[in-house]
Structure 1
Amino acid sequence: MVSPQRDLLAALPTSAAGARIGYARVSTKGQLLDRQIAALEAAGCTRIFADKKSGRTAEREELWAALDYLRPGDTLVVSALDRLSRSIQDLIAIVSGLRKREIGFQSLHEALDTTTPGGRLVFHVFAALAEFIRELIVQGTYEGIEAARARGERIGRPPAMTPEQIRHARDLLTRPDNTVTSIAKLLGVSRTTLYKYVPELKAGRASLVAGPEDQVHPTPRS
């Protein structure tokens, strides 16, 4: 399987008949698309798709329409990289997908063009940097967890019941008038949680009156 980084470095077949398709985006309805559209038209785009939505949302209908409209030999053009995506991972994924379809990508502001060797090299660096950052985050998270364990800190979700709640539950369960359901509601937990943290309850409430240490356990077979 060819990695996204190697795919970004691969030469793109040129096509004189390929169309230049523009994509513009603004984050809010109050912002205007005029400047982006003018820049895309000046760059020779024969058709322009435009969204008025945040770059973080997946509901970018016009972007998906543009990607569907593109054909091998075409070039997707944006006025700036942040118009296509706010995430470098998302950006790399989109450009890699275009490369696999033999479609070029150009960003006017950054003067990047994946149909040229220099543009492909820049995106290769972007992809390598994104992978490096991801590995640093994973490594840092692992080291942080190990350091917390060394300090005796609990890792993961906090317990559903505190030791004080468990003692309170045992005390309440020794009183016949208190039902398991009412005690669970009083402590703000489910019946299942109560049975989990007071395991001797499964043997019957009488065992709680005597206490776990007074229970008679069967002698194991020799």
Structure 2
Amino acid sequence: MEFGYARVSTQEQNLDLQMDAFSKAGIKKVFTDKVSGIKSEKPQLNELLKYARNGDTLVVWRLDRLGRTTVQLIQFIEDLTAQGINLRSLTEPIDTSTATGTLIVQIFCVLAEHERNVLRERTKAGLTAARSRGRTGGRPAGLTSKFEEIKFLVKASYESKKWTIEEIMKAYKISSKTTFYKILKSAEKGASQV
């Protein structure tokens, strides 16, 4: 059985072009998402994968409807293959139920692996160059200047027990409890040094 999958990135975009292509191709059951390709969570695609069985075919208008990066796409195709589900694109020469379509996917896999290796080499070279200049990676230790300025106010608000942690976080625009406790800890150290 063939199942269509259509996706657009925003609620404002419409699926007409893709739906027309599926209709022309005779695909009756189509799952649709309105979510960015960058996001890994695509609810209707997940539904389709629960519904599909060994030997079924997932049909897309274009491969980029499944993911933005080659690496994402290759991983997805490998997952489909492991489940025995074929993939076919209406606008590209991809059909994993044929030898030629499988060859094209394998070429994509080789290119994706090469891309990962080149990226790994560049990252390693960049880190080595940075270390030779005395720089280390990672986030800078300590608080941002914004939180450094308000840490004693946050501590005083917390110790007054008039407000909940959530209310204090909202008032001082602190986005996470981890940051909140980091601010308190810094204020404690600062108070003990005075």
- TM-score after normalising by structure 1: 0.61
2:137 aligns with one of 125, 132, 156? 156
3-state SS of paired residue (2:21): helix
Q: Answer yes or no: is the 8 Å Cα contact 1:106–1:113 preserved in 2.
A: yes
1:91 aligns with one of 73, 96, 112? 73
TM superposition outliers: structure 1 runs of 4+ over 6 Å: none
Higher relative contact order (CA 8 A, sep 6+): 1
Q: How many residues in Structure 1 have an aligned counterpart in Structure 2?
A: 152
For residues 55 and 67 of structure 2, the distance between their equivalents in structure 1, rounded to whole angstroms, comes to: 22
Instruction: Kindly state the Cα deviation for residue 63 of structure 1 after the two structures are TM-superposed.
Output: 0.6
Amino acid at match of 1:27: S
For residues 148 and 44 of structure 1, the distance between their equivalents in structure 2, rounded to whole angstroms, comes to: 56
For residues 105 and 68 of structure 1, the distance between their equivalents in structure 2, rounded to whole angstroms, comes to: 15
Return the index of the structure with the highest Cα Rg. 1
1:51 aligns with one of 11, 16, 33? 33
Deviations 1:186-216 (A, max 9, x none): xx94556999xxxxx9xxxxxxxxxxxxxxx
Root-mean-square deviation (CA, aligned residues, Å) is 2.5
3-state SS of paired residue (2:5): strand
Q: Could you list the runs of 5+ residues in structure 2 that have no partner in the other structure?
A: 144-184
For residues 99 and 194 of structure 1, the distance between their equivalents in structure 2, rounded to whole angstroms, comes to: 60
3-state SS of paired residue (1:106): strand
Higher helix share: 2
Q: Answer yes or no: is the 8 Å Cα contact 1:26–1:83 preserved in 2.
A: yes
Q: Could you list the runs of 5+ residues in structure 1 that have no partner in the other structure?
A: 1-18, 162-187, 196-200, 202-222
2:17 aligns with one of 21, 27, 35? 35
1:1-222 to 2 correspondences below 5 Å: 19-151=1-133, 153-157=134-138, 158=140, 160=142, 189=186, 191=188
Give the share of equivalent positions with the same residue, in percent: 40
